[in-house]
Amino acid sequence: DAGITQSPRHKVTETGTPVTLRCHQTENHRYMYWYRQDPGHGLRLIHYSYGVKDTDKGEVSDGYSVSRSKTEDFLLTLESATSSQTSVYFCAISVGEGYEQYFGPGTRLTVT
Amino acid sequence: QKEVEQNSGPLSVPEGAIASLNCTYSDRGSQSFFWYRQYSGKSPELIMFIYSNGDKEDGRFTAQLNKASQYVSLLIRDSQPSDSATYLCAVPSGWTFGSGTQLTVLP
């Protein structure tokens, strides 16, 4: 257990509505990540953060934004949810400078 | 082109056998490699990482790295039904994951 929590754990929302997912860590790790996991695609990086207010895009960042105003919290926002964003979302932290990652429990998001 | 390729499987082995999982990668600059295990409905958990050519052993798990061939593998000795899961290979370059290999260990 790397002290990572995600909220909500499950969410159903309608197309066009904004959605924010929260990742919270208790150990002041510098690096935090957001992934989505879909059948046939494995884990794909959406955005990552290397410090407070320091974020960068990953492989599949279109339609997503992130914010990190405190070390312990990394928020993922879908400004206007689409059905293609139905997925399982995982947050991760990295121990050390970009080395091994540890994952949160995940959020299952369904966009109807 | 995906940077990390894995045999999607599924792979089935009998209990007590050696399970061999393979991963190839395209970025010759990759220096480290990670293996994760993911049970159905759960999050990935780190089981091994390897940086140097050759073998690294941890209990029943052995990771093998061949940088010249851009190939990394995971061997699970004395496979148990509890090893049944999807195994993911990852490289830190862009934090790219393979699609995973589903392993089933038959009692």
pLDDT, tens only, A23-49? 999 988 999 999 999 987 889 999 999
Nearest to A45 by CA among A62, A26, A27: A62
Substitution target in B2, B7, B33, B43 with the highest count of A β-carbons within 10 Å is B43
Q: Which residues contact A96 (CB under 8 A, 6 or more apart)?
A: none
pLDDT, tens only, B52-103? 888 999 999 999 999 888 999 999 999 999 999 999 999 988 889 999 999 9
A57 in reach of chain B (CB within 8 A):
no
Q: Residue A106: its chain B contacts at CB < 8 A?
A: 42-43
pLDDT given at position B67: 87
DSSP β-bridge partners for residue A109: A11, A87
Is A42–B95 a contact, with Cβ atoms under 8 angstroms apart?
A: no
Cβ-based interface (< 8 Å): residues of B facing A:
32, 34, 42-46, 49, 88, 90, 92, 94-100
**Which residues 67-86 of A are in CB contact (within 8 Å) with B?**
none
Is A41–B49 a contact, with Cβ atoms under 8 angstroms apart?
A: no
Helix and strand numbers, DSSP H then E, in chain A? 0, 11
- Backbone conformation region of residue A3, classed left if phi is above 0, alpha if psi is from -120 to 50, else beta: left
